[in-house]
Amino acid sequence: MTTDPPDYLHAERGIRSWLLTSDHKRIALMFLVATLLSLALGGAFAMVLRTKLLEPGPWLIEPITYNRLFTLHGVVMVFMFMIPAIPAVFGNFMLPMMLGAKDLAFPRINLASFYVYLTGAALALWGMIHGGADTGWTFYAPYSTSSPTDVAPIALGVFVLGVSSIMTGLNFIATTHMLRRRGLRWHDMPIFVWAIYATSIIQVIATPVLGLAVSLVAIDHAFQLGIFNPALGGDPVLFEHLFWFYSHPAVYIMILPAMGVIAEVVPTFAKKHPFSYNALAYSSLGIAFVGFLTWGHHLFVAGISQFDAAVFGVMSMFVAIFSAIKVFTWIGTLYRGSITFNTPMLYFFAFVYLFAFGGMTGIAVATTSLDVHWHDTYFVIAHFHFIMIGGTLTAFLAALHYWFPKMFGRMYPERWGLVSAGLVFAGFNLTFVPQFLLGNAGMPRRYYAYPDRFHVLNVMSTLGAYLLGASLILTLVYLLISLRWGKPAPANPWGSRSFEWRSPSPPPVHNFVEPFDPRKGTYAYDEPPPDEVPAMERT
Amino acid sequence: MNELLRRLLHLPEQRSSIAIGIDTLHYTVILATMAGVTLAAAVAAVFLFRYRRSSSAIPLTPRVVAPLWLEVGVYGGLLALFCAWWVVGFRQYREIETPPPDAIPIYVTAKQWMWKFAYPAGPTSQDALVVPVGRPVKLILTSRDVIHSFYVPEFRLKQDVVPGRAEMLWFEATEAGTFDVLCTQYCGTRHSLMRAQVIALSGADYARWLDAARAPLTLPGAKGDGQGLAERGHQIAAERGCLRCHTTDGTRFIGPTWANSFGRTRHTTDGRDVLIDEAYLTESMMDPRAVIAAGFQPVMPSYQGVLTPAETSAIVEYIRSLRDVEPVRTVPPPAAPLAFPPPAGTPGGNP
ipTM attached to this prediction = 0.91
Residues of A in contact with B182 (CB under 8 A): 442, 444
* CA A353 from centroid of its chain's CA atoms: 17
Query: Is A218 strand, coil or helix?
Result: helix
CB burial string B18-47: b at 16+ within 10 A, e below = bbebbbebbbebbeebeebbeebbebbeeb
HSE-up of residue B183 (Cα within 13 Å, Cβ side): 31
User: What band does A176 get if pLDDT is binned at 50, 70 and 90?
Assistant: very high
CB-based contact, A186 to chain B, within 8 Å? no
Q: Which helix (H) or strand (E) holds A481?
A: helix A455-485
Look at A437-441, A529-533, B245-249 and tell me which has the smallest mean pLDDT.
A529-533
CB-based contact, A526 to chain B, within 8 Å? yes
Minimal Cβ distance to A236: which of B30, B58, B163:
B163
The CA–CA distances, whole Å, from B188 to A14, A233, A447, A488, B50 equal 49, 22, 10, 54, 55
Is 50 exceeded by the pLDDT of residue A537?
no
As a whole number of angstroms, the distance between CA B26 and CA A325 comes to: 24
What does the pLDDT read at residue A90?
97
**B186–A67: do the CB atoms touch at under 8 Å?**
yes
How does pLDDT run across B37-55, given as a tens digit for each residue?
999 999 999 999 999 988 8
What does the pLDDT read at residue B249?
82
**B191–A376: do the CB atoms touch at under 8 Å?**
no
- Report the amino acid identity of residue B72: V
Among A residues 298-317, those touching chain B with beta carbons less than 8 Å apart: 300-303, 306, 309-310, 313-314, 317
**A271–B53: do the CB atoms touch at under 8 Å?**
yes
* CA B214 from centroid of its chain's CA atoms: 23
Residues of A in contact with B62 (CB under 8 A): 336, 526
Q: What string of DSSP letters covers A7-23?
A: BTTTSS-SHHHHHT---
Rounded to the nearest angstrom, the minimum Cα separation between B282 and chain A is: 20
A271: left (phi over 0), alpha (psi -120 to 50) or beta: left
The CA–CA distances, whole Å, from B274 to A126, A403, B248 equal 58, 70, 20
Bridge partner list, B140: B107, B168
Residues of B in contact with A529 (CB under 8 A): 58
Look at A189-203, A208-222, B333-347 and tell me which has the smallest mean pLDDT.
B333-347
What does the pLDDT read at residue A517?
87
Give the pLDDT mean for B179-186.
Answer: 95
Is 90 exceeded by the pLDDT of residue B125?
no
As a whole number of angstroms, the distance between CA A38 and CA A76 comes to: 6
Rounded to the nearest angstrom, the minimum Cα separation between A151 and chain B is: 13
Rounded to the nearest angstrom, the minimum Cα separation between A90 and chain B is: 26
**B48–A375: do the CB atoms touch at under 8 Å?**
no
- The DSSP code for B103 is P
Among A residues 319-348, those touching chain B with beta carbons less than 8 Å apart: 320-321, 324-325, 327-332, 334-341, 345
Helix runs in A76-190, H state only: 83-84, 92-99, 107-129, 143-146, 152-178
CB-based contact, A235 to chain B, within 8 Å? yes
The CA–CA distances, whole Å, from A185 to A181, A261, A392, A532 equal 9, 20, 28, 22
- Report the amino acid identity of residue A521: G
Rounded to the nearest angstrom, the minimum Cα separation between A152 and chain B is: 17
Residues of A in contact with B97 (CB under 8 A): 306
What does the pLDDT read at residue B255?
85
CB-based contact, A15 to chain B, within 8 Å? no
Minimal Cβ distance to A340: which of B53, B92, B163:
B53
Q: Are A394 and A460 in contact (CB under 8 A)?
A: no
Residue B77 CB neighbours (<10 A):
11
Query: Is A488 strand, coil or helix?
Result: strand
**A447–B36: do the CB atoms touch at under 8 Å?**
no
CB-based contact, A276 to chain B, within 8 Å? yes
Q: Which helix (H) or strand (E) holds B315?
A: helix B309-321
What does the pLDDT read at residue B242?
86
Residues of B in contact with A448 (CB under 8 A): 191-193
Is 90 exceeded by the pLDDT of residue A318?
yes
Mean confidence (pLDDT) of chain A: 93
Q: Please compute Rg for chain B using Cα positions.
A: 28
Listed as own residue / partner, the contacts of B125-130 with beta carbons closer than 8 Å and 24 or more positions apart are B125/B213, B125/B241, B126/B196, B127/B195, B127/B196, B127/B197, B127/B301, B127/B306, B128/B196, B128/B197, B128/B199, B128/B241, B128/B301, B129/B181, B129/B196, B129/B197, B129/B198, B129/B199, B130/B199, B130/B201, B130/B206, B130/B209, B130/B213
- The DSSP code for A518 is T
Q: Are A158 and A114 in contact (CB under 8 A)?
A: no
Is 60 exceeded by the pLDDT of residue A2?
no
Q: Which residue of B has its CA nearest to A272?
A: B61
**B75–A447: do the CB atoms touch at under 8 Å?**
no
Minimal Cβ distance to B29: which of A339, A364, A377:
A364
Mean confidence (pLDDT) of chain B: 84
Is 50 exceeded by the pLDDT of residue B331?
no
* CA B12 from centroid of its chain's CA atoms: 11
Q: Which residue of B has its CA nearest to A309?
A: B90
Provide the sign of the torsion angle of the four alpha carbons A258, A262, A265, A267, taken in this order: negative
CB-based contact, A58 to chain B, within 8 Å? no
User: What band does B349 get if pLDDT is binned at 50, 70 and 90?
Assistant: very low
Residues of A in contact with B59 (CB under 8 A): 271, 338
Give the pLDDT mean for B258-265.
Answer: 86
User: What band does A531 get if pLDDT is binned at 50, 70 and 90?
Assistant: low
What does the pLDDT read at residue B126?
84
How does pLDDT run across B65-90, given as a tens digit for each residue?
999 999 999 999 999 999 999 999 99
As a whole number of angstroms, the distance between CA B229 and CA A50 comes to: 45
User: What band does B286 get if pLDDT is binned at 50, 70 and 90?
Assistant: confident
As a whole number of angstroms, the distance between CA A270 and CA B48 comes to: 9
How does pLDDT run across B139-155, given as a tens digit for each residue?
999 999 999 999 999 99
Q: Which residue of A has its CA nearest to B82?
A: A317
Torsion, Cα of B232, B238, B241, B246 (10° steps) = 100
**B146–A366: do the CB atoms touch at under 8 Å?**
no
Rounded to the nearest angstrom, the minimum Cα separation between B54 and chain A is: 9
Rounded to the nearest angstrom, the minimum Cα separation between B152 and chain A is: 8
What does the pLDDT read at residue A538?
39
- Report the amino acid identity of residue B98: T
Give the β-pairing of B114-118 and B104-111.
antiparallel
**B37–A318: do the CB atoms touch at under 8 Å?**
no
CB-based contact, A357 to chain B, within 8 Å? yes
As a whole number of angstroms, the distance between CA B196 and CA A443 comes to: 14
Rounded to the nearest angstrom, the minimum Cα separation between B42 and chain A is: 10
CB pairs < 8 Å spanning A and B: 269
Q: Are A161 and A117 in contact (CB under 8 A)?
A: yes
Which residue of A139, A326, A368, A371 to mutate against B (max B Cβ within 10 Å)?
A: A368
**Edge-to-edge order in the sheet of strand B157-161:** B128-132, B195-201, B177-183, B148-152, B157-161
- Report the amino acid identity of residue A226: G
How does pLDDT run across A254-309, given as a tens digit for each residue?
999 999 999 999 999 999 999 999 999 999 999 999 999 999 999 999 989 999 99
Is 60 exceeded by the pLDDT of residue A159?
yes
CB burial string A6-23: b at 16+ within 10 A, e below = ebbbebeeeeeeeeebeb
Instruction: Say which residue, A449 or A528, is predicted with more confidence.
Output: A449
User: What band does B227 get if pLDDT is binned at 50, 70 and 90?
Assistant: low
- The DSSP code for A142 is T
Give the pLDDT mean for A20-30.
Answer: 96
Is 70 exceeded by the pLDDT of residue A220?
yes
Rounded to the nearest angstrom, the minimum Cα separation between B350 and chain A is: 42
Residues of B in contact with A276 (CB under 8 A): 65-66, 71
- The DSSP code for B201 is E
**B62–A375: do the CB atoms touch at under 8 Å?**
no
Q: Are A446 and A70 in contact (CB under 8 A)?
A: yes
Minimal Cβ distance to A236: which of B30, B95, B147:
B147
**A336–B97: do the CB atoms touch at under 8 Å?**
no
Which residue of A145, A330, A373 to mutate against B (max B Cβ within 10 Å)?
A: A373
Residues of A in contact with B164 (CB under 8 A): 230-231, 235-236
Q: Which helix (H) or strand (E) holds A439?
A: helix A414-441
- The DSSP code for A510 is T
Give the β-pairing of B177-183 and B195-201.
antiparallel
Residue A237: φ, ψ to 5°: -70, -25
The CA–CA distances, whole Å, from B197 to A366, A450, A496, B92, B130 equal 29, 15, 62, 25, 8
User: What band does B216 get if pLDDT is binned at 50, 70 and 90?
Assistant: low
Minimal Cβ distance to B61: which of A134, A338, A373:
A338
Find, among A393, A501, A357, the residue nearest to A78 by Cα: A393
Instruction: Give the highest mean pLDDT range of A227-241, B76-90, B259-273, B318-332.
Output: B76-90
Which residues 6+ apart lie within 8 Å of A451 measured at CB? A56, B180
As a whole number of angstroms, the distance between CA B134 and CA B132 comes to: 6
Residues of B in contact with A147 (CB under 8 A): 188
User: What band does B262 get if pLDDT is binned at 50, 70 and 90?
Assistant: confident
HSE-up of residue B223 (Cα within 13 Å, Cβ side): 0
Query: Is B161 strand, coil or helix?
Result: strand
As a whole number of angstroms, the distance between CA A488 and CA B132 comes to: 75
Q: Which residue of A has its CA nearest to B10?
A: A441
HSE-up of residue A184 (Cα within 13 Å, Cβ side): 25
**How much is the pTM?**
0.85
Bridge partner list, B195: B182
